[in-house]
């Protein structure tokens, strides 16, 4: 019993706090409007401290192997909580100015985070599906929170319908694997396939599983929802959607492909190569034509997912660690980019077009500098962390024997640098628009948070070794 409580302590604490805040907010929302927000941040900090204090290097399993607590799960959970914490801090001012700041936003965000944490520790197909649904259903509701916005409602419906379709395909693929192997547990699936080999039925199931995973990642050609949902959702919700769920998608792919189906690496490796190449091409090329900043960042996300898939494609521990490093650092850069958009927006003005950043270097030098750091990092320019993230992935791709694929990824990154540099040019060389002479000054917490993110992007680029070593260590155990 004590062992079970120790293993499940972060999830239990988050669940109890979420339910308590859901009930409590109904009583204190009008008298103490900021209390739910403050208690949410305190809860996330406490849960993060619990995980770090009970960090597990060894694999501890519960519920007959359905739930696992290991180094990979703990590192991913800490990263998810950190991104959620930043998202809530960045989003509050935005939500307040649009009268959509309600306790439900924070509660649904925490429940979605609970699903992500279950995904990180899922060790059989049922627990994995439960985590995926807990995460996804909360996200659908969050996107539709701005009820007077046609775009938000449309985005939520589109995400819901396509997400349900992708989940159905994922479930069908898992059912085919189960029907052939006779077990839902990843360890048993791995052992059985090692002994019997990969049959045609398992191979077919693997195709359906990869389609579902590609949708959750937002990888081409299953990417159509990404720009529409990013654009249509309120920016205060988009910044949450663009960060923590990407880390959860990494956890989903790691548990399914590596823990359960690594024996079939020759089969899923070729499919991942196709998905990665398409994502790099579609993401980088289509982003050039975008005039909306949120849509541009959405296509940028698709391109970055291509790099993460390249890390998985290598089929070795170093490649998986490089992919983990990439997804965590990308989530940090992404939440910073959308945070700058939030800082510049105000009621009735979203600041989500590239031209809205005209002359930002003169109107608000601090925000322009932070955005400059983030864009250069996303473009893969040293000394920022985006450069090192791309470098470690490409190094593993070359060492795995896919040199031509690495060269292709570099060429796509050069093409992608254009649309990042275009935004920088608009910020520093274009004249401010007439209605944009006075820049909106963000709240102190948002400014401090953005400065923290920008500084971290620079420091991790200069000193990435410790973080990458941590990821390699948890992969090895």
Taking only the tens place, the pLDDT of each residue in 221-250 is 888 889 999 998 888 899 999 999 999 999
- For position 217, what pLDDT does the model report? 86
- What does the pLDDT look like over 57-67, one tens digit per residue? 888 888 888 89
Instruction: Report pLDDT digits (tens) over 382-423.
Output: 999 999 999 999 999 999 999 999 999 999 999 999 999 999
With 60 as the cut, is the pLDDT of residue 173 above it? yes
pLDDT at residue 198, rounded to an integer? 85
State the burial class of residue 85 (Cβ atoms within 10 Å of its Cβ: 0-12, 13-18, 19+): buried
Q: Which of 64-73, 123-132, 186-195, 432-441 has the lowest mean pLDDT?
A: 432-441
Instruction: Output the average pLDDT for the chain.
Output: 90
Band of the pLDDT at 440, cuts 50, 70, 90? low
Residue 20, pLDDT score: 95
Tokens in use for 174? 């898992």
> Tokens 């320019």 belong to which residue?
381
Residue 450 has pLDDT above 70, yes or no: yes
Confidence (pLDDT) at 2: 66
For position 434, what pLDDT does the model report? Answer: 62
Residues 6 or more apart whose CB falls under 8 angstroms from that of 209 comprise 170, 173, 174, 177, 256, 261
Three state DSSP letters for 43-96: HHHHHHHHHHHCCCCCCEEECCCCEEECHHHHHHHHHHHHHHHHHHHHHHHHHH
Q: Taking the CA atoms of the chain, what radius of gyration do you get in angstroms?
A: 21
What is the structure's pLDDT at 1? Answer: 58
What CA–CA distance (Å, rounded) separates 159 from 63? 32
User: DSSP label at 259?
Assistant: I
Residue with tokens 């694997």: 177
Q: Is 348 left (phi over 0), alpha (psi -120 to 50) or beta?
A: left
- Supply the pLDDT for residue 150: 85
- pLDDT, residue 437, reads 45
In the block, tokens 């034509």 appear at 289
- Quick one: pLDDT band at residue 359, thresholds 50, 70, 90? confident
* Mean pLDDT, range 336-354, rounded to an integer: 85
pLDDT above 60 for 436? no
What b/e readout covers 165-175, taking b as 16+ CB neighbours within 10 angstroms? ebbebbbebbe
Please say if the pLDDT value at position 381 is more than 80.
yes
Tokens 């009583």 appear where?
27
Q: Please give the pLDDT value at position 99.
A: 81
Give the pLDDT confidence score for residue 90 in this predicted structure.
93
| pLDDT tens track for 144-155 | 888 878 888 888
Whole-number Cα distances in Å, 140 to 16, 50, 115, 338, 393: 22, 29, 13, 19, 32
pLDDT in tens, 237-285: 999 999 999 999 999 999 999 988 889 888 899 999 999 999 999 999 9
User: Phi/psi class of residue 380: alpha, beta or left (left: φ > 0; alpha: ψ in -120 to 50)?
Assistant: left
pLDDT-based confidence at 441, cuts 50/70/90? low
pLDDT over 50 at 110, yes or no: yes
pLDDT of 59: 83
Q: What predicted TM-score, i.e. pTM, was given to this entire model?
A: 0.94
| The pLDDT of residue 439 is above 60 | no
Residue 15 neighbours by CB distance under 10 Å: 15
């Amino acid at each position: 019993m004590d062992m079970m409580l120790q293993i499940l302590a972060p999830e239990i604490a988050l669940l109890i706090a979420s339910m308590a805040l859901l009930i409590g907010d109904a009583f204190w929302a009008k008298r103490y409007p900021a209390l739910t927000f403050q208690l949410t941040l305190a809860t996330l900090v406490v849960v993060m401290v619990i995980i770090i204090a009970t960090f597990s290097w060894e694999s501890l399993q519960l519920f007959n192997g359905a739930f696992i607590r290991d180094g990979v799960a703990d590192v991913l959970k800490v990263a998810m909580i950190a991104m959620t914490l930043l998202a809530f801090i960045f989003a509050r001012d935005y939500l307040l100015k649009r009268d959509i700041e309600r306790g439900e936003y924070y509660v649904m965000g925490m429940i979605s985070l609970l699903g992500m944490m279950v995904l990180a520790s899922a060790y059989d197909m049922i627990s994995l599906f439960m985590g995926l649904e807990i995460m996804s259903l909360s996200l659908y509701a969050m996107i539709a929170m701005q009820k007077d916005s046609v775009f938000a409602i449309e985005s939520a419906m589109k995400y819901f319908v396509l997400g349900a379709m992708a989940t159905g395909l994922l479930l069908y693929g898992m059912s085919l694997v189960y029907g052939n192997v006779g077990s839902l547990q990843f360890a048993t699936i791995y052992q059985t396939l090692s002994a019997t080999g990969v049959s045609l039925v398992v191979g077919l199931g693997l195709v359906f599983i990869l389609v579902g995973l590609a949708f959750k990642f937002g990888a081409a050609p299953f990417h159509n929802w990404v720009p529409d949902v990013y654009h249509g959702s309120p920016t205060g919700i988009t910044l949450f959607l663009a960060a923590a769920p990407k880390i959860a998608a990494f956890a989903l792919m790691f548990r399914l492909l590596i823990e359960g189906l690594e024996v079939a690496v020759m089969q899923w490796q070729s499919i991942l190569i196709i998905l990665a190449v398409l994502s790099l091409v579609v993401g980088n090329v289509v982003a050039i034509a975008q005039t909306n900043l949120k849509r541009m960042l959405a296509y940028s996300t698709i391109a970055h997912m291509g790099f993460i898939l390249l890390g998985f494609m290598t089929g070795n521990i170093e490649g998986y660690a490089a992919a983990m490093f990439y997804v965590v650092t990308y989530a940090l850069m992404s939440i910073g980019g959308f945070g700058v958009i939030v800082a510049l927006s105000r009621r009735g003005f979203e600041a989500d077009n590239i031209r809205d950043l005209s002359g930002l270097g003169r109107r608000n030098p601090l925000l322009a500098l932070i955005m400059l750091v983030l864009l250069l990092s996303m473009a893969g320019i040293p000394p920022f962390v985006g450069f090192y993230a791309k470098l470690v992935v490409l190094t593993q791709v070359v060492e795995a024997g896919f040199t031509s694929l690495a060269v292709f990824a570099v060429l796509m990154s050069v093409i992608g640098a254009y649309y990042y540099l275009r935004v920088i040019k608009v910020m520093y060389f274009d004249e401010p628009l007439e209605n944009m002479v006075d820049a909106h000054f963000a709240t102190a917490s948002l400014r401090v948070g953005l400065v923290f993110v920008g500084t971290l992007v620079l420091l991790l680029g200069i000193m990435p070794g410790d973080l990458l070593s941590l990821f390699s260590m948890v992969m090895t155990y």
